[in-house]
Structure 1
Amino acid sequence: MRCDAPPRAGELVLYTLSHDDALYVNARRVTPADVQDQVLEARWPVGAQAHVGAAARDGMVQPALVVGVHEDGTVNLQVFLDGTDVLWARGKRAASAESGAHPGRWHRNDDIHKISTET
């Protein structure tokens, strides 16, 4: 697919986590030991799902699936994290030579070299 072509639903892209993204992901995660302790003490809610995974960090590049494309050029993404959960990133813009590949933006895998060499 051409680098300048609009994104399509179902396309796999790369998303760079922002500081706020990382805070949100890490705040909702627990460790397996936390879950075990709460289950043993009968404090874990019946049917509750645990979000467990590696710590998310500002600037991490993660694969993401385009799930919505808006007329203003923004997209909604399901960002695949290193854990049992995903991040729903809404209204995200593409990285560009002007914006750079900074956190909170998405890019195609073949765009990253172009973006990093133009800035």
Structure 2
Amino acid sequence: MPQPPTLGRNVHYRASADDAVRINKRRKDAYTSGAYAQEDGTIAHLGNDVAEGQIFPAIVVRVWTGSVNLQVLLDGNDVFWATSRSEGEEPGKWAWPERVS
């Protein structure tokens, strides 16, 4: 029987093409606006580019019937809020990490 997701569990999230566009845009905007260089407390989205299919660690922050909301830990100083995502191996879905023996 598959294990149901629960609040606070660590999972793997596979970025979709739309996720990558949204994340990369806000990171590019941080540079073009100059927000990355501000020293006034502004927090800019900075990090490496994201591509469809890349896998990131994520934390379950809300459980719905058949889906979850995730805080996806990106390779940078920001996170991505992935809402209403279901389990699977395709981009835009989450999966349990592989067991290490």
Q: TM-score scaled by structure 1?
A: 0.72
Superposition map of 1:1-119 within 5 A: 4-30=2-28, 46-70=40-64, 72-95=65-88, 101-110=89-98
1:50 shift after superposition: 1.1
Task: Please give the per-residue CA displacement for 1:70-103, whole angstroms capped at 9, x wherever unaligned.
Answer: 1x210000000000100000000001xxxxx110
Q: Which has the higher strand share?
A: 2
Structure 2 gap ranges (5+): none
Q: Where do 5+ consecutive residues of structure 1 fail to align? A: 96-100, 112-119
Matched position secondary structure for 1:109: coil
Q: Secondary structure at 2:98's aligned position in 1? A: helix
- Given that 2:23 and 2:80 are in contact with CA atoms closer than 8 Å, whether structure 1 keeps it comes out as yes
Is the 8 Å Cα contact of residues 17 and 60 (structure 1) preserved in structure 2? yes
Question: Percent same amino acid at aligned positions?
Answer: 38
Q: CA RMSD in A?
A: 2.8
Q: TM-score, normalised to structure 2's length?
A: 0.84
Q: Which has the larger radius of gyration?
A: 1
